[in-house]
Structure 1
Amino acid sequence: MKLGTYLTGDGLRAVALQGDQLVELGPSLRDLLAGGPEALDRALAASGSGHPLAYERLGPMVADPGKVLCIGRNYAEHADELGNQTSARPEVFLRSRTSLAGPRRAIAQPRVSDQMDWEVELAAVIGRPGRYIAAEHALDHVAGYGVFNDISLRDFQNAGKQWTAGKNFDGTGPLGPFLVTADEVLHPFDLALTRKIVEPDGSERVVQRSNTSLMVHRLPEIIAFLSLFTTLEAGDVIATGTPGGVGLGRKPPEFLRPGQLLVSAIEGLGELRNPIVTEAD
């Protein structure tokens, strides 16, 4: 099943994809996940208005997560290209809800930075809450998966020891296009990831190509570690890190510019298509 959020006349609403139609399930996907499978079944049975699928109106697949927990340096190739080492335990940073964006939303290059970089990542969404979760049971807590685009403003990220500023510019974290429920993702540890850049003249190139099998810390280990210090709640998003091929790791470094289109794809989960634009005055 594919779940997400859709912009209607009444604001963002939780939806399910049925054929080529989106049916409304309620105001909040996070609340539906918190109610467990029974709540989702009830919402589907009583589903309301239908809408033709228009990707441009999709919001982040979970629009109101309590937490967005991101893992850094989780692919050895990426750590190496930036002159870093992988860590013995997951490297964690947080993103805010306001940094998220829909799967087709334009990303504005901030006027205060010219070092906007790309990172394609597998995202997992918590369904069943928990604390002190054992790794062998961790995937039982996952509601589903999607694609995350962890756009990073490198000059802000690297200005100090904390990454918060460079990872939290408004609208720099496209998430979606849908939450593909866990029962439809049989092998989350063997999914191909790709990132393409399409130039204004239509030419395109693949800048990231990898597989989730190459993660240093796999999702069960990540969930177990995160749950040592925080209660994982329904709707929480976990971004599992990016592989090699980012702009900062190139020689010379390469950064995004208005007019380009980012296409971020993960096998079986769909793709994000985000144009880069100039920030409005």
Structure 2
Amino acid sequence: MKLVRLGDPGRERPAVIDDRGTIRDLSPLTPDIDGAFLAADGIARTRLALAESALPALEAEGLRFGPPVARPGTVVCIGQNYAAHAAESGSTPPTRPIIFLKPPNTVVGPYDEVEIPRGSTKTDWEVELAVVIGRTARYLDSPEQALEHVAGYTVSNDVSERDFQLEHSGGQWSKGKSCATFNPLGPYLVPADEVPDVQDLRLCSSVNGEPRQDSRTADMIFSVAQIVHDLSQYMVLEPGDVINTGTPQGVALSGRFPYLKPGDLMEIEIEGLGRQRQTLRSS
């Protein structure tokens, strides 16, 4: 099954796509797909409701796909988590996870337009596996325990402005990561136990139909389990929080491709988790 949120921004309604591909209304169970829903065994309750045919079909034609999780409390990002991407960025692969934060208001739907910020000359794409937290994680004892706190996975585009990130930020990356619309998320939230091997998923991106990134999560330096465990030593991860786990090589920062301009079309995809599509526009 796949959890989705459908409708206009700020007015999305919760839904689930069952194993036959039918979209069903999740409103009988919850007003939204958020941290409270996930913390209250929302995924298990959804499965039970589907098994009991308790969720009516939903006419979804023409409805916008919103982010599959309502406004997360925190968006935590892992930098340079693929060795080849670190190399194309001119950096040595990290020995400990590098983290930065994005404001929750960067999160938009998977097909929404992405805005090139004022003064930008180096807006860039980054396909990333996103982890959605389902249980509070604090001072976890081991990476193995960490996976018990993951609700599911989705697709994230960690859009970045490289000049803001590297030249304007005084050593911190958040200025280049925090612009409006800079985190398309979705289209689906796939439960963690329905992803056979999260450390061996293909992820890829293209711009205007031309291939850019093509890699596998097997190439991550730090696995999902290691990331969640490490973060829990420094912060409290709460249900509904999102972790962007890093991007592979093939971004414009490498110098091999032009940066984005108005009218460009980004498409990113992760095996089993869905495909995004965004057009760029000026601010």
- Report the counterpart of residue 14 of structure 1 in structure 2: 14
User: What residue number does 2:272 align with?
Assistant: 268
Return the alpha-carbon distance in structure 1 between the equivalents of residues 61 and 3 of structure 2: 12
TM-score, normalised via structure 1 length: 0.90
Aligned-partner Cα distance in 1 for 2:134–2:273: 18
- Equivalent runs, 1:4-153 vs 2, <5 Å: 4-7=4-7, 11-18=11-18, 19-25=21-27, 26-30=30-34, 31-37=36-42, 39-40=45-46, 47=55, 50-54=58-62, 57-133=64-140, 134-153=142-161
Q: Give every structure 1 segment of 4 or more consecutive aligned residues whose post-TM-superposition deviation is greater than 3 Å.
A: 37-49
Runs of 5+ unmatched residues, structure 1:
199-203
Distance 1:8 1:119 in 2: 25
Match of 1:201 in 2: none
Higher share of residues assigned strand: 1
**Structure-2-length-normalised TM-score:** 0.90
In 2: Cα distance, 1:49 partner to 1:217 partner = 40
Q: Give 1:246's aligned residue.
A: 251
| AA at the equivalent of 1:141 | H
Q: Determine the C-alpha separation between the residues in 2 that align with 1:9 and 1:236.
A: 19
- Name 2:229's counterpart in structure 1: 224
1:255 is matched with which residue: 248, 252, 259?
259
- 1:149 alignment partner AA: N
The answer to which of 8-17 and 189-198 deviates more is 8-17
Q: Distance in 2 between matches of 1:94 and 1:121?
A: 15
> 1:210 is matched by which residue type in structure 2?
S
Deviations 1:137-181 (A, max 9, x none): 211111111110000011111122111111010111100010011
Check whether the contact 2:269–2:276 (CA below 8 A) recurs between aligned residues: yes
1:169 correspondence with 2:140? no
Aligned CA RMSD, in angstroms, stands at 2.0
Question: Does the alignment pair 1:194 with 2:196?
Answer: no
Query: What amino acid is aligned across from residue 217 of structure 1 in structure 2?
Result: F
Task: Please give the secondary structure, in 1, of the residue aligned with 2:229.
Answer: helix
Distance 1:52-1:78 versus aligned 2 partners, 3 A rule: same
Moved more, 8-17 or 262-271: 8-17
Distance 1:223 1:53, change over 3 A: farther
Give the drift of 1:39: 4.8
